[in-house]
Amino acid sequence: MKNISIHYFAILREKRGESSESLQTECQTYRDLFIELDKSYNFDLPISIIQVAVNDEYSLLEREIVDGDKVVFIPPVAGG
């Protein structure tokens, strides 16, 4: 089990109902984690449009999760 902290923004924060949480996961990659979270919180966004930042740097969804990571899943944001 790995302990990580997740921060949510925009539509993901609205769907989750929280701006952040700490959790334990057995997921191997951030792609796996997003899929697991989507099942729990019904984000209803295709993973192909999601970006991820790990420890304040953009990363790949295929990156292996490391205990203590701080992650932000970034949905597309419309401006105007």
CA pair distance 38, 56, nearest whole angstrom? 22
At residue 52's C-alpha, the angle toward residues 31 and 9, to 5°, is 115
Write the pLDDT tens digit of every residue in 20-67: 999 999 999 999 999 999 999 999 899 999 999 999 999 999 999 999
At residue 76, the pLDDT reads 86
Quote the distance between the C-alpha of residue 33 and its chain's center.
Answer: 7
